[in-house]
A = this chain, B = another copy of it.
């Protein structure tokens, strides 16, 4: 049941996998023509699927000879988790970003699907319904548990 965005995502990932440089360069206009859609659809795909949490970095240049460059960031190193956690928990911990992060861990085979599912369970707000006071406290608790879970993954070498 794939939709247009799924196809574009797949296309880009294939290109990326084929590339030896660790990044690809595309032209928005050209790509939108290939998939017969409006150019901004490409932005939608990029912003919904090629996020930092999922391990991608996107840069671009406007004007004549413009381009969009998509980098695949190095596979997650354990030491870098803390940094990413900082980002996820920047102002207020964001469960959605944590889920993205887990997805990436799955893709990189650092986290198993089952492990990811467990952690996702603790990120679901409805499990806390009626048991915790404020939103702030909820996010704080989720962050703590998430962090603890990551540490558990780190410690337990399978």
Contacts and interface: CB of A to CB of B under 8 A. Distances in A.
Interface of A: 1-3, 25, 27, 61, 64-67, 112-122, 124, 127-128, 131-133, 137, 140-141, 144-145, 148-149, 151-153, 155-158
Contacts of A152: 114, 117-118, 120-121
B3 A153 contact: no
A132 B1 CA distance: 42
Nearest to A6: B65
A151 B122 CA distance: 12
Contact of A148 (B25, B27, B67, B127): B127
Contacts of A115: 112, 114-115, 118, 156
Contacts of A121: 145, 148-149, 151-152
Contacts of A113: 156, 158
Contact of A3 (B25, B65, B118, B148): B65
A143 to B, nearest CB: 10
Contacts of A67: 1
